[in-house]
């Protein structure tokens, strides 16, 4: 079992502030890194799928970077809004895990007005 670690476990952000958090994964046999947004009482929704070292993805105020050589990805939220409150999951896939995603435990973000 490969370990995908997310930090911090939770964070509180004031509305309008920017924040970022980390996903760490083993750097060997990298294939893909997923980010999902999971609101309470809903289902996880995909934000990004990243496959290339140095990749940067952006969706609105949320962006992500990927470093496959050192095994980490950052998710950034710019100008946080209350609707950004959710748990953000990252998930990692290797070249020999054949479709199996290994999820981290998530970073819970609470944005207060």
Partner 1 sequence: DAGITQSPRYKITETGRQVTLMCHQTWSHSYMFWYRQDLGHGLRLIYYSAAADITDKGEVPDGYVVSRSKTENFPLTLESATRSQTSVYFCASSEIQSDEQFFGPGTRLTVL
Give the residues lining the site for partner 1 (CB under 8 A). Answer: 1, 31-32, 34, 42-46, 49, 51, 89, 91, 93, 98-106
Nearer to partner 1, 89 or 109 (CB): 89
For residue 5, what are its two tokens? 């670690």
- Contact between 81 and 15 (Cβ < 8 Å): yes
Q: Among 4, 94, 91, which residue's Cα sits nearest to residue 48? A: 91
Which of residues 2 and 15 has its CB atom nearest to partner 1 in the complex?
A: 2
Total residue count of the chain as it appears in this document:
113
Give min distance, CB of 89 to partner 1, in A: 6
Minimum CB separation from partner 1 for residue 93, in Å? Answer: 6
Query: Quick one: 13 or 91, whose CB is closer to partner 1?
Result: 91
Give yes or no for a cis peptide into 8 (omega within 30° of 0).
yes
Tell me the C-alpha distance between 51 and 31, whole Å.
Answer: 6
Q: Which of 1/83 has CB closer to partner 1? A: 1
Least distance (Å) from partner 1 to the CB of residue 27? 17
Asked whether 35 and 75 are in contact (CB, 8 A), the reply is yes
């Amino acid at each position: 079992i490969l370990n995908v670690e997310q930090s911090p476990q939770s964070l509180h952000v004031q509305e309008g502030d920017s924040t970022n958090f980390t996903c760490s994964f083993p750097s060997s046999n990298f294939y893909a890194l997923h980010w999902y947004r999971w609101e309470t009482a809903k289902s996880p929704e995909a934000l990004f799928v990243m496959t290339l070292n140095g990749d940067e993805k952006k969706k609105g105020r949320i962006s992500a970077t990927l470093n496959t050589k050192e095994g980490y990805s950052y998710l950034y939220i710019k100008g946080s809004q209350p609707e950004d409150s959710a748990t953000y999951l990252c998930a990692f896939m290797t070249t020999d895990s054949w479709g199996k995603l290994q999820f981290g435990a998530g970073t819970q973000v609470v944005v207060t007005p």
